[in-house]
């Protein structure tokens, strides 16, 4: 779940590969999670923290791509 100001702003799912984690992040409204939108910097920071936690690279995949 992606939260913005305590409200649901989207959802995400991941697929772990041997060398990376693929993230599919979907926004639930106009805030969006694409570059240039208000939610993007926070989502990018969360991606980076998750990758550091896992110890592997996290890459974003376009929404709808079969993981």
Q: Which of 48, 67, 60, 53 is nearest to 10 (CA)?
A: 60
Which residues are bridge partners to 60 per DSSP? 23
Considering the domain boundaries, does residue 43 fall inside one? yes
Mean pLDDT of 41-55: 91
The tokens of 13 are what? 């799912």
Q: Which domain holds residue 15?
A: 2-60
Considering the domain boundaries, does residue 65 fall inside one? no
Q: Which letter does DSSP use for residue 50 in this model?
A: H
Considering the domain boundaries, does residue 67 fall inside one? no
**3 vs 22: which has the higher pLDDT:** 22
**45 vs 35: which has the higher pLDDT:** 45
The domain tally of the chain equals: 1
Q: Which letter does DSSP use for residue 21 in this model?
A: E
Burial grade of 25 (CB within 10 A; 0-12, 13-18, 19 or more): buried
Q: Quick one: pLDDT band at residue 15, thresholds 50, 70, 90? A: very high
């Amino acid at each position: 779940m992606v939260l913005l100001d305590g409200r649901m702003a989207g959802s995400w799912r991941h697929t772990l590969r041997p060398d990376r984690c693929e993230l599919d992040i979907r926004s639930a409204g106009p805030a969006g999670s694409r570059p240039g939108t208000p939610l993007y910097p926070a989502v990018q920071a969360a991606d980076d923290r998750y990758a550091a936690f896992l110890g592997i690279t996290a890459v974003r995949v376009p929404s709808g791509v079969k993981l």
